[in-house]
């Protein structure tokens, strides 16, 4: 744990004044921007999230804007998913890979028009890959980062709160679909999505100057709903099996290893397709698994090796105690030889050796 | 200011145990890695750096490794500098640009062999641009991030300290040249370079397991030289006019605007060459300038607009009080209309309006 200074390079967000006023307890840096990590505490935040409604500053989910006559052509190169099936109000989870099938990012694609897409990216400058590829292939497309800052509204009371600010029409938005809804004379993309399984929305706030007015409007409307500032919660998201790019997987992994094979259905010749053919047919040699770690554990500040007979059979990149389930929940990348539910594997944590047990499924 | 947690995604470095033991006061995140920002204090650290010798954990200067038959071809696309003039023991400062001439990064290229280069990058995933371009052009080249972590030895006593660990041969290394020198049975690239103007070296430590042994060896050898842990120092580097990518310039700027036109001498058709032709001939419409800011200033945690008659004529991305020169030193991007030395411009800091005065030259 150490202090961090914001700078122009490590940017504040349009919502930072609200986050600071709400008493943020810690930050991480994500896409060159501040991302809160807790407010009251990770466990207290999780308990509140599961009962009420929270406003999350996820401006760090920056948008890679792809616009122009060749936008769809570039999307088809970048996306293992069949882009022709994507409807004009849809969001697609798109595990993007390199020529060897290694994960580059796992953005959510938002289709704004046939020649206009956003990729709402995990941590990493995916725009640089898209730009290099577009230049290399001489595609007629513009790639930049627009002034769009997502704000998430998450929790079981999210529909009620959002309806008060955007109208009852929000209740009709289906999962991973969006509507364009007005706020103070501007229209925002409002999607039913977000990095929790408590339900909720992501508002793509276009224009930094609308950030705090929207933040304030949501808080003013939600006082009796016990609305609070929150952030992606490391307990809730591990219980829910939501993967964190860079923690749970990276370029060394394929989408099949990440359990994302169902998103690789494109008939097009996307980058990495040939390299993925074998795993598409025969399955991957290792894969993401939920694990319980026995005993007491500390903070997972790196990668914890999974060991069997002194040989490494995987690693864990995320682990934390779950008060709700009364166990230490973890996400690991586990070799095929040891991935069957019930398998007990030794794990080397920073506080010593523990036992990890492969689970049948995530907790939610 | 807020607390930051390391995670697998925000990595510790091979030198983190040494940095922590030395009492690091703050971190920033740079290339998904922890970078110390001060130890005793930024001003005390600067004073020590100018008198003695410091060891800096700059592992976050990650290497983009470009290797293979088409390595030089890719370098010629990426580099505005004439790569054919580069000698086999040389380091090149290479302002890398996109197709519109906008800065993508300002790495130091290290030539290891005709088919093998490292780009020691500033904050940003330049490997993604290089990879996208290589795939787009079907180049036969591998691009990855090797296990190489630079450690800098900076300050007027750097030669003496380095000679004790690597031998007197280090004294013969010329500026931006390197030698391969042995340490505990391994050979490291040791270059005369670093992000200060106090003199010194950067050791490209290949193999994380050699990190702490080398750190410890340097400290053991330098007790009587008053060696201390340090880090890139925001006072010294602004006084010296060393630019920080993301703070002082970004994709919205060309190399000419950054005062780096002299590095754009490639006869090849590098990416962005055509877009830069006009500025190569007529000069840029704005350019980096040293500035003094009058009065008291706070921490520059964003971008401070420069204003003339209510119109923006530039901005400052770095500013801090210099005890040595007794003024607030700053780096700005200033419009041609206001860049002449002596020009007084209003500046909007987070603490209120101040006056900034354009300087003839940096302080060192």
User: Tens digit of pLDDT for each residue in A101-156?
Assistant: 999 999 999 999 999 999 999 999 999 999 999 999 999 999 999 999 999 999 99
Closest CB from B3, B246, B302 relative to A25: B3
- Closest-CA distance, A307 to chain B, in angstroms, reads 18
Report CB contact under 8 Å: A12, B132.
Answer: no
User: Tens digit of pLDDT for each residue in B184-203?
Assistant: 999 999 999 999 999 999 99
pLDDT at B110 over 60: yes
Closest CB from A7, A37, A98 relative to B247: A7
Compute the average pLDDT of residues A29-58: 97
Banded model confidence at residue A3, pLDDT cuts 50, 70, 90: low
- In chain A, the residue whose alpha carbon lies closest to the alpha carbon of B125 is A125
ipTM (interface pTM) = 0.97
Placement of tokens 């000069």 in the chain: B283
- Closest-CA distance, A108 to chain B, in angstroms, reads 18
- Closest-CA distance, A90 to chain B, in angstroms, reads 26
**Domains of chain B and any CATH numbers:** 16-62+147-238 (3.30.1360.120), 63-144 (3.30.70.1400), 285-364 (2.40.30.110)
CA distance A13 to A17: 8
Report CB contact under 8 Å: A136, B135.
Answer: yes
Report CB contact under 8 Å: A2, B27.
Answer: yes
Closest CB from B32, B37, B247 relative to A8: B247
Q: Other CB atoms closer than 10 Å to residue B118's CB: what's the count?
A: 25
pLDDT at B3 over 80: no
Which residues of chain A does B245 touch, with a Cβ-Cβ cutoff of 8 Å? 9
Compute the average pLDDT of residues B340-344: 98
pLDDT at B6 over 80: no
Closest CB from B3, B29, B246 relative to A3: B3
* pLDDT score for A216: 98
CA distance B87 to B69: 18
Candidates A136, A229, A237, partner chain B, best to mutate (most B CBs within 10 A): A136
* pLDDT score for A171: 98
Q: Other CB atoms closer than 10 Å to residue A253's CB: what's the count?
A: 22
- In chain B, the residue whose alpha carbon lies closest to the alpha carbon of A7 is B301
Q: Are A208 and A149 in contact (CB under 8 A)?
A: yes
- Closest-CA distance, A245 to chain B, in angstroms, reads 8
Compute the average pLDDT of residues B70-76: 98
Compute the average pLDDT of residues B271-275: 97
Residues 6+ apart with CB under 8 A from A319: A238, A291, A293, A297, A300, A304, A328, A329, A330, A331, A349
CA distance A193 to A348: 35
Report CB contact under 8 Å: B29, A4.
Answer: yes
CA distance A109 to A95: 10
Compute the average pLDDT of residues A68-79: 98
* pLDDT score for B2: 55
Closest CB from B11, B133, B303 relative to A135: B133
Compute the average pLDDT of residues A177-189: 97
* pLDDT score for A2: 55
Q: Other CB atoms closer than 10 Å to residue A194's CB: what's the count?
A: 23
Report CB contact under 8 Å: A29, B29.
Answer: yes
* pLDDT score for B305: 98
* pLDDT score for A191: 98
User: Tens digit of pLDDT for each residue in B29-61?
Assistant: 999 999 999 999 999 999 999 999 999 999 999
Banded model confidence at residue A7, pLDDT cuts 50, 70, 90: confident
Which residues of chain B does A301 touch, with a Cβ-Cβ cutoff of 8 Å? 5-8, 12
Compute the average pLDDT of residues A175-188: 97
- Closest-CA distance, B99 to chain A, in angstroms, reads 7
pLDDT at B1 over 50: no
User: Tens digit of pLDDT for each residue in B284-339?
Assistant: 999 999 999 999 999 998 899 999 999 999 999 999 999 999 999 999 999 999 99
Report CB contact under 8 Å: A2, B34.
Answer: yes
pLDDT at A207 over 50: yes
Report CB contact under 8 Å: A125, B128.
Answer: yes
* pLDDT score for A133: 98
Compute the average pLDDT of residues B109-136: 98
Concatenating the DSSP letter of every residue in A177-226 gives: BEEEEEETTEEEEEEB--SSSS-EEEEEEESGGGHHHHHHHHHHHTGGGT
- Closest-CA distance, A172 to chain B, in angstroms, reads 36
Q: Is A360 helix (H, G, I), strand (E, B) or coil?
A: coil
Compute the average pLDDT of residues A252-277: 97
* pLDDT score for A1: 46
Which residues of chain A does B103 touch, with a Cβ-Cβ cutoff of 8 Å? none
Nearest 5°: the CA angle B298, B300, B302 is: 140
Q: Using H for helix, E for strand and C for coil, what is the string for B255-299?
A: CCCCCCHHHCCCCCCCCCHHHHHHHHHHCCCEEEEEEEECCCCCC
Closest CB from B11, B25, B136 relative to A133: B136
Candidates B16, B128, B243, B274, partner chain A, best to mutate (most A CBs within 10 A): B128
Candidates A1, A5, A145, A248, partner chain B, best to mutate (most B CBs within 10 A): A5
Q: Are B307 and B346 in contact (CB under 8 A)?
A: yes
User: Tens digit of pLDDT for each residue in A17-32?
Assistant: 999 999 999 999 999 9
User: Tens digit of pLDDT for each residue in B209-242?
Assistant: 999 999 999 999 999 999 999 999 999 999 999 9
Mean pLDDT of chain A, nearest integer: 97
């Amino acid at each position: 744990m150490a202090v961090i200074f914001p700078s122009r390079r490590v940017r504040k967000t349009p919502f930072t004044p609200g986050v600071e006023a709400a008493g943020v307890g810690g930050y991480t840096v994500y896409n060159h921007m501040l991302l809160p990590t807790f407010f009251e505490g990770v466990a207290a935040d999780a308990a509140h999230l599961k009962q009420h409604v929270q406003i999350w500053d996820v401006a760090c989910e920056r948008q890679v804007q792809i616009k122009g006559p060749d936008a769809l052509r570039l999307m088809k190169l970048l996306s293992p998913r069949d882009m022709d099936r994507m409807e004009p109000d849809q969001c697609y989870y798109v595990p993007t890979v390199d020529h060897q099938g290694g994960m580059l990012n796992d953005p959510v694609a938002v289709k704004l028009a046939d020649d206009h897409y956003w990729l709402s990216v995990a941590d990493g400058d995916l725009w640089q890959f898209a730009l290099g590829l577009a230049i290399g292939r001489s595609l007629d497309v513009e790639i930049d980062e627009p002034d769009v800052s997502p704000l998430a509204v998450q929790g079981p009371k999210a529909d009620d709160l959002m309806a008060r600010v955007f109208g009852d029409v929000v209740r009709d938005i289906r999962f991973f679909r969006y509507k364009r809804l007005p706020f103070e004379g501007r229209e925002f993309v409002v999607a039913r999505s977000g990095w929790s399984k408590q339900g909720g929305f992501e508002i793509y706030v276009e224009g930094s100057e609308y950030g705090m007015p929207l933040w304030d409007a949501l808080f003013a409307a939600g006082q009796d709903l016990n609305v609070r500032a929150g952030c992606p919660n490391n307990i809730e998201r591990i219980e829910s099996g939501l993967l964190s790019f860079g923690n749970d997987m990276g370029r060394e992994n394929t989408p099949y290893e990440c359990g994302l094979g169902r998103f690789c259905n494109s008939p097009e010749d996307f980058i990495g397709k040939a390299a993925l053919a074998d795993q598409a047919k025969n399955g991957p040699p290792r894969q993401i698994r939920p694990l319980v770690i026995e005993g007491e554990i500390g903070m997972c500040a790196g990668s914890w090796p999974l060991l069997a007979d002194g040989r490494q059979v995987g690693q864990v990149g995320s682990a934390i105690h779950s008060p709700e389930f009364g166990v230490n929940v973890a996400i690991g990348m586990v070799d095929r030889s040891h991935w069957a539910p019930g398998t007990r594997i030794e794990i080397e944590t920073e506080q010593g050796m523990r036992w990890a047990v492969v689970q049948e499924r995530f907790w939610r």
